[in-house]
A and B are shown apart, each in its own frame.
Chain A
Amino acid sequence: NAGVTQTPKFRVLKTGQSMTLLCAQDMNHEYMYWYRQDPGMGLRLIHYSVGEGTTAKGEVPDGYNVSRLKKQNFLLGLESAAPSQTSVYFCASSWPDSFDGYTFGSGTRLTVV
């Protein structure tokens, strides 16, 4: 019963490098989300997906791209990392009628130097 799994858990990038964060869920959830959390702040929605092959922008989408090629996976890409993208990234998934709430992953701590 893995739930939502994020890889990697930690990463240090140099400015300008690219990377992809992977989110995998085994609950057959339709919706998936990527959030970022900066120190001392609440979570902010980056992008989300309402189904395989669909993506949409959230509150802070600039500098990120996403893909949902398979229902169980939601990828978050940074094409050219910047120090301002240093943050903890959380993935979540839910049913369309999310009365049971979201299930969150344990986070990816990313540092851009």
Chain B
Amino acid sequence: DAKTTQPPSMDCAEGRAANLPCNHSTISGNEYVYWYRQIHSQGPQYIIHGLKNNETNEMASLIITEDRKSSTLILPHATLRDTAVYYCIVRAGMDSSYKLIFGSGTRLLVRP
């Protein structure tokens, strides 16, 4: 399974865009990039996922580089409620029962 590398912490000002990077240089062709977040001690929450095209939903945008070795999660207008730990995960292959293996994530602090 491909590993991911994320900065341990980041911060941004409320109302500004938060751009969270993730490196996954060993990703294979059939592996998707998933983003989850965990607010305080709650269960993780699904944000978005993508294979090779950029994706957008009501929560965020996901930009995947053309070589697929890295990606960026964008929260376009961060609010204080977006303060959380954000996990970038490369989903295990089709024969691995869709296990999600979490890393340490990025702790995002949104400042007033």
Contacts and interface: CB of A to CB of B under 8 A. Distances in A.
A62 interface: no
Contacts, number: 56
Given A50-B97, A56-B97, A44 B43 contact: no
Interface size class of A (residues with CB under 8 A): 20 to 34
Interface string B85-110: 10100010000011111111100000
Given A42-B87, A44-B102, A90 B97 contact: no
Given A42-B87, A101-B34, A106 B42 contact: yes
A94 interface: yes
Contact of A42 (B34, B43, B45, B105): B105
Contacts of B100: 33, 45, 102
Nearest to B32: A99
A43 to B, nearest CB: 4
Of B41, B87, B97, B104, the most chain A CB neighbours within 10 A belong to B97
A42 B46 contact: no
Contacts of A41: 104
Contacts of B68: none
Contacts of A92: 43-44
